[in-house]
Amino acid sequence: MKFIDEARIEVIAGNGGNGAVSFRREKFVPRGGPDGGNGGNGGSIYVFADENVNTLVDYQFVKTYRAKNGQNGRSKACHGKSAQDITLSVPVGTVILDEETTQVIADLKDPKACFCLLRGGKGGLGNLRFKSSINRAPRQHTLGESGASLRLKLELKVLADVGLLGFPNAGKSTLLCAISAAKSKIGDYPFTTLHPSLGVVRVHANQSFVVADIPGLIKGAAEGAGLGYRFLKHLSRTHLLWHIVDASKLEKDLIDEMLAVEEELAKYSQALYDKPRWLVLNKIDAIPIKQQQQIIKRLMEDYDGVLDQSNHTSAKPIRRLFAISGVTGEGVKQLIQATLLHYQTTKKMQDVL
């Protein structure tokens, strides 16, 4: 199934039915009085966060969702039938915005969350409702309310605890497959990953966290280069970012890539840029063991030096570093344990606040 994370739709609530003007007409019942019933309510439109839905692809084909109108009231005090409501199922993590004002209407980040987008119009009152001791034969009635309409933008932001950043072919998908049961596509060519992938990392029987992988970022992503920039929104809910880099590359190329990713991140969102971010040197198995520590130390010194000399105000130095190999598993356990501890500590702090 094609991964669709954005859609634009129009929703229209149903109109309320009109109240009826009617008088009882039966043999042997003179002056039967008013018996006009009320109109039924129009259908409302709800949205529901469904755990079994993973994409917004259905909303690419059907763009308009219109609830039915309520029935009009009838004679003999018969009220009109209210129309059925419409419920739209969307993936957990969907944000619903007013297309015109861009105001957030609902953020469905909890499973089975339900929100009323539009209420159907109320049914009108029949003349039976206006009967009183001083108004025995009322001819008043009210019309049903019109149903409102909205043009909406749906945005899916996947729910994950950790987000993976990096250039194409840094080994993000390989790492995700190694630490979880995810079946991400792996290849030795750029942009093997075409859409976000999720994997659950189970540390112990009752301890786990979710990792999200997005297409790789490249320099100029903010101007439309590559695939990764439009998927950065999927990392907005994460607690921690892993900046994955290919340690087997030349030192200068590696530093340039690290800075490029950070600058693109800062251009996209200051809030996302300010999230805790760890540098993960992947493919460490491609470096001779005797040279690993020396290369890592020199890399970080050069990285800090480049920041100082070039005044990279948008690039914040990364102080926590892990050297791993997604293929051999070297250093992966330490990274996972540190991440679980960070997640548990952060969650406790949020609960206190």
Residue-by-residue pLDDT tens, the chain, 353 positions? 455 678 999 999 999 999 999 998 887 777 788 999 999 999 999 999 998 888 888 898 899 999 999 999 999 999 999 999 999 999 998 999 999 999 999 999 899 999 999 999 999 999 999 998 888 889 999 999 999 999 999 988 887 888 888 888 778 888 888 888 766 555 554 545 556 777 888 887 778 888 888 776 766 655 555 555 667 777 888 888 898 888 877 666 777 778 888 888 888 888 888 888 888 888 888 877 777 777 777 776 666 655 544 444 444 555 678 888 888 888 889 999 988 888 888 765 454 43
Alpha-carbon separation of residue 69 from 40, 64, 163 (angstroms) = 8, 15, 45
Q: What's the rounded Cα separation, in Å, for the pair 219 and 224?
A: 10
Q: What is the pLDDT of residues 108-126, one digit of tens each?
A: 989 999 999 999 999 999 9
pLDDT confidence of residue 153: 94
Q: What's the rounded Cα separation, in Å, for the pair 182 and 164?
A: 14
Q: What's the rounded Cα separation, in Å, for the pair 203 and 336?
A: 8
Structural element, H or E, at residue 212: strand 207-213
pLDDT confidence of residue 144: 95
**Which tokens in the block code for residue 79?**
């009220």
Residues in the chain: 353
Alpha-carbon separation of residue 117 from 7, 45, 65, 175 (angstroms) = 16, 6, 12, 40
Q: What's the rounded Cα separation, in Å, for the pair 190 and 228?
A: 11
Whether residue 321 contacts residue 279, with contact meaning beta carbons closer than 8 Å, is answered with: yes
CATH architecture of 6-156: Distorted Sandwich (2.70)
Alpha-carbon separation of residue 184 from 136, 172, 202, 282, 350 (angstroms) = 75, 10, 17, 17, 32
Q: What's the rounded Cα separation, in Å, for the pair 11 and 114?
A: 16
Q: Beta strand pairing status for 64-66 and 240-246?
A: unpaired
pLDDT confidence of residue 198: 78
Within 211-288, residue ranges assigned H as helices are: 251-268, 270-273
Within 164-321, residue ranges assigned H as helices are: 172-179, 251-268, 270-273, 289-310
- Residue 167: DSSP 8-state: S
Find out if CATH 2.40.128.110 is the number for domain 162-352: no
| Amino acid in the structure at residue 306 | V
Domain boundaries, the chain: 6-156, 162-352
Q: Is 220 left (phi over 0), alpha (psi -120 to 50) or beta?
A: left
Dihedral sign computed on CA atoms, order 88, 159, 257, 284:
negative
Q: What's the rounded Cα separation, in Å, for the pair 25 and 123?
A: 25
* Residue 172: strand, helix, or coil: helix
Compute φ and ψ for 74, nearest 5 degrees.
Answer: -135, 180
